[in-house]
Structure 1
Amino acid sequence: MTTATAPAKRSAATPDLSRAALPLRRRAIDLTARLLMVLAVLAAGVPLLLVIYHVLAKGVGIVDLDFLTADIPVRARVAGPGMGPAVVGTLIITGAAALLSIPLGVLGAVYLNEYGKQSLLARVIRTMADVMTGVPSVVMGLFILVVWVLAVGEQTGFAAALALACLMLPVIIRSSEEMLRLVPDELRQASAALGARRWRTTVSVVLPAAISGITSGAMLAIARAAGETAPIVVVAGTVTWTNWNLFEGNNTTLTAQIFKNAVEPFEAAHGRAWGAALTLMMIVLVFTILARFIAGRFAIKNR
């Protein structure tokens, strides 16, 4: 009899955790918190959606094959294409900056998390990375102007790549280090128990486990670099023709052309600025999707 009624007694003693059973004060606090979170999402999302809408509405009628391949008109008042030199310049300058900064940034993060830990050098590197994260882009452009452009005697695309790489490096270091910290120590210990050296554990276990987060941090840095204007104008100048050589002659990017055309009083220049903005947004979107796909291929899968 006692055994049969025990479940019923325990069921009767179970507290009612439904929302209706909560005190009025707790329900009011919960509702207020929900409303505040919804308002925060709207405050962050609505401006972003408005920007995307305006860029699409004003740029979709401008972008076509001629716009992406033709030379930039010498006179701003001239209607028509294109942004070919700016598209090429954006790809090669940002690509060169990524090749310079991503390997160095990931290696720096590996040292900080796997080797340096809390040593004096590691603390100095972290502090300098945090300081560099807040440096305005124009200051970095002036720095490269002094140490590179004036020494070489010419504005080049490589100087712009150096400036963008300096802006990307601290973002990659700090984001990659945080991702490496999230890798469970059990994975490192299991690899060490199998006789793997630390460098082998880092390369074959730690980095694959953190590759998705590292890729996200790298793409965040690339997106920031692709959207910079001041360093490009200072150290690379602007051109109206395609320059494939990073080490000779001026170059240009989509952001520099957006700035140059947006300040012109001509409707044709404004149209090219909107088209360049849409092109830049699509380039960043395509590379983000591609990077996530590559990261997913190399990431460690849970089985």
Structure 2
Amino acid sequence: MTDTVIDTAPAPAASPRLASRRLPRWTPLAIAAGAVAVGCGIGAGAGLSSHIQWGLIALILFVAGSYAITARVEGRRQAKDRVATSLVWACFILAVVPLYSLVETTVSKGAGVLDGTFLTHSMNNVLTLDAGGGVYHAIIGTLEQVGIATVIAAPIGIFTAIYLVEYGRGNLAKWVTFFVDVMTGVPSIVAGLFILSVWFVVMGKAPASGFAGSLALAILMMPVVVRSTEEMLKLVPNELREASLALGVPKWRTITKVVVPTAIGGISTGVMLAIARIAGESAPIALLVFGSNLINTNPFSGPQSSLPYFIYQQYGNGNDPSYARAWGAALVLIAFVMILNLVARGIARWKAPKTGR
């Protein structure tokens, strides 16, 4: 008879759960506070008068401190990730600080003259050394010039983008793409000189008009519209095109009824951003429109002002009342661009494809 031996030795203890040390969530804030305090101390002790230098010292200390503490607690791999995240936030702050400074300075210096009189009066019979006057004539000029440029550039840009995305094949499409890329980097003064040579010298038209300035602005606006529209059309899924074509719908009708309506939100946003891009141009206006202190509602005849040119003109006068009017006009221009961006965002959200549940 065989004896059965039963092993009564205790089973080995279960291995402990793998655990890694982690820093608390408030660690970045604590490191940032310490870096700011030490950076301010170093800046004050070294006699640095610029707060920007203090901020750069604090930034370096923050990145170095984040790496050192994270590497010691969590390891070098997590430390590198923490450094990359810190650099992203640092770049974001470096981008926001100048923007905030610009807006804060413009609002503080321009709000003093911004009232109903400033928005509804021109500079007619107002001496540069006297207070008063307004930007009504410049607002009219900007709206008319930008509006005409949009009517010219937006359809051409949108149709060019449709051609490049839907039909563009071969050398012609390559050359069109090349010239669009070249036009994207053309300085505004070059566009003004081109219209000056064609409009005035070759055609022999009147020496100044808002329409001539609109032509130069349209040249600057066109490549922006083409590029933005092209990218929006590329985002439309090919399945939508194929489904429409499979049903026997012609290609042109597929584009007008399927592709363009799907991308209309992004296209509208691109057009609005292009309008904001040309709204601040002053060089073509100085060359082609000449500016005026009077209200001129006819963009096809006579000099006409605009907000960018009015700012340049007033700041060039070199006296306090003119400086105040320049800052007030700058505030109006910023508000105009901000409204355009808000409208673009609203259109994009309104026209965004709705997903059903």
Could you say whether these structures have the same fold, taking a TM-score greater than 0.5 normalized by the shorter chain as the test? yes
Aligned to 1:224: 277
- Unaligned regions of 5+ residues in structure 2, if any? 1-14, 24-72
Q: Given that residues 149 and 159 in structure 1 are in contact (C-alpha distance below 8 angstroms), is that contact kept between their aligned partners in structure 2?
A: no
Aligned to 2:170: 119
2:61 maps to 1:61: no
Aligned to 2:3: none
Q: TM-score, normalising length from structure 1?
A: 0.90
SS for the counterpart of 1:249 is coil
Any residues of structure 2 matched to 1:21-170 within 5 Å, and which? Answer: 24-73=75-124, 74-116=126-168, 118-150=169-201, 151-170=204-223
Summarize the Cα distance change of 1:197–1:282 in structure 2 as closer, same or farther, 3 Å threshold.
same
Q: Given that residues 184 and 223 in structure 2 are in contact (C-alpha distance below 8 angstroms), is that contact kept between their aligned partners in structure 1?
A: yes
Aligned to 2:67: none
Which structure exhibits the higher relative contact order, with contacts defined as CA atoms closer than 8 Å and separated by 6 or more residues?
Answer: 1
Q: Given that residues 168 and 221 in structure 1 are in contact (C-alpha distance below 8 angstroms), is that contact kept between their aligned partners in structure 2?
A: yes
Q: TM-score, normalising length from structure 2?
A: 0.77
Q: Which moved more, 1:265-274 or 1:285-294?
A: 285-294
User: Which amino acid is 1:104 matched to?
Assistant: I
Q: Which moved more, 1:80-89 or 1:199-208?
A: 199-208
User: Which amino acid is 1:149 matched to?
Assistant: F
Q: Which has the higher helix share?
A: 1
Q: Given that residues 122 and 134 in structure 2 are in contact (C-alpha distance below 8 angstroms), is that contact kept between their aligned partners in structure 1?
A: yes
- Unaligned regions of 5+ residues in structure 1, if any? 1-11
1:99 Cα deviation after fit: 0.9
Summarize the Cα distance change of 1:262–1:190 in structure 2 as closer, same or farther, 3 Å threshold.
same
SS for the counterpart of 1:152 is coil
Cα deviation 1:48-67 (Å, max 9, x = unaligned): 11101111111112111111
Any residues of structure 2 matched to 1:189-228 within 5 Å, and which? Answer: 189-228=242-281
1:23 Cα deviation after fit: 5.7
Which has the larger Rg? 2
1:179 Cα deviation after fit: 1.2
Cα deviation 1:105-148 (Å, max 9, x = unaligned): 011000000111x4211111111011011111001101111101
User: Which amino acid is 1:195 matched to?
Assistant: G
Aligned to 1:249: 302
- d(CA) in 2 for partners of 1:250 and 1:47? 35
Summarize the Cα distance change of 1:24–1:175 in structure 2 as closer, same or farther, 3 Å threshold.
same
Q: Given that residues 232 and 267 in structure 2 are in contact (C-alpha distance below 8 angstroms), is that contact kept between their aligned partners in structure 1?
A: yes
1:288 Cα deviation after fit: 2.5
- d(CA) in 1 for partners of 2:150 and 2:19? 56
1:100 Cα deviation after fit: 0.7
- d(CA) in 2 for partners of 1:18 and 1:164? 59
Summarize the Cα distance change of 1:243–1:209 in structure 2 as closer, same or farther, 3 Å threshold.
same
CA RMSD of aligned residues (A): 2.1
